[in-house]
Amino acid sequence: RVAYGGTYRGGQRNNQEAVCKSFKPQFRLLEDEFFRYDFEVADCAIRYAEDWNRMCEDGKEILVTRGDVHNIDGTQYMVEPLIRYF
């Protein structure tokens, strides 16, 4: 995949840093399957994080974000908040 830096415009994340990921042309056939699987993994991780956050001590909470897929000029991009120092 190829990753690009960007900034959200509008919505809840207005002016927050973002990362946009797309597949190289020779791997575009994998997009739909990969993005679907990525969402399944994120949804599972969010459920675990929510369970943890209900029982953990203050300051030990976990935040998991779930990206969105945007289609721009025929190319699909996974757009997610940029998490620095991960």
Give tens-digit pLDDT for 7-62. 999 888 999 999 999 999 899 888 889 999 999 999 999 999 999 999 999 999 99
Label residue 83 by pLDDT band (50, 70, 90): confident
Give tens-digit pLDDT for 7-18. 999 888 999 999
Q: Which amino acid is at 44?
A: C
The enclosing H or E element of 81 equals strand 75-81
Phi, psi of 85 (to 5 degrees): 60, 35
> Could you give the 3-state DSSP secondary structure of residue 70?
strand
DSSP state of 86: -
Confidence (pTM) = 0.75
What is the rounded distance in angstroms from the CA atom of residue 34 to the CA atom of residue 23?
10
Residue 86 above 80 pLDDT?
A: no
